[in-house]
Amino acid sequence: MLWRNWGHLLGILSIPLQGLLYIAISRISGETAYYNYYWIDTMIPVVTWFAYPYVSWMPILYLGFLYFAFVDRALYWRTVIIYNISIMICNAIFILFNTYVPRPEIEATDWATMLIQFVYTNDAPLNCFPSIHCLTSYLLFIMINRHLNWHMAWRAAASIWLWLIIASTVFIKQHSIIDIAGGIIVAEGVYQLVRIYMNRSAKRKQPVRSYEGHDTVGL
């Protein structure tokens, strides 16, 4: 009974497991990283307060998965599946075409700049395209706005914060604009593929009326 009620929460362990794989890939792919920074990125200033939404990413990711797990188990498993497929695609890209972005020198003078230095120290400027920060934030964004019947104010607040996380990746110089686009494209693409597959599977399982008037399972 305990497994039936709580066993599905183990799906959340895919987040730290994927994180360990990300770290392993970072250690073996740094020597062949390609420069991934363009003129438009040089026009974006460093805005240090974006460090706060940036570091909120991991807690929000776990809270999002936990919320789905308790509120809508089917939506939770769909999110877990999309997340893992998307991250596996990113890992393949990191291995085959790893990229890096240059980082500015930032002096720690307040909490925001100290957070940026902490990020720089603990996360190498590799595995940039696509941005996993952006991918997962956009995934939560579309799940909230397309599948949850939240009040408009709550949906707007969550959406604004998730987009602040996405924007923070370029304002603290962790990613480039193309990294954001790549993360969003991967998340949206995998979401649509999973949606199509699940819709087709549901149609195949729907009963159809036979010529004798009895219900049969559609093939």
CB 104 within 8 A of CB 118: no
Q: What are the backbone dihedrals phi and psi of residue 101, each rounded to the nearest 5 degrees, phi first?
A: -125, 145
CB 57 within 8 A of CB 165: yes
User: Strand locations in 39-166, DSSP E?
Assistant: 99-100
Cis-peptide, bond into residue 130, ω within 30° of zero = yes
Residues 69-79 have pLDDT tens digits of 999 999 999 99
Q: Report the distance separating Cα 219 and Cα 204, nearest Å.
A: 5
How high is the pLDDT of residue 128?
A: 93
How high is the pLDDT of residue 31?
A: 62
How high is the pLDDT of residue 151?
A: 94
How high is the pLDDT of residue 201?
A: 82
How high is the pLDDT of residue 85?
A: 97
How high is the pLDDT of residue 59?
A: 96
How high is the pLDDT of residue 2?
A: 43
pLDDT < 70 regions, the chain: 1-7, 29-31, 207-219
Overall pTM > 0.75:
yes
SS3 assignment for 133-178: HHHHHHHHHHHHHHHCCCCHHHHHHHHHHHHHHHHHHHHCCCCCHH
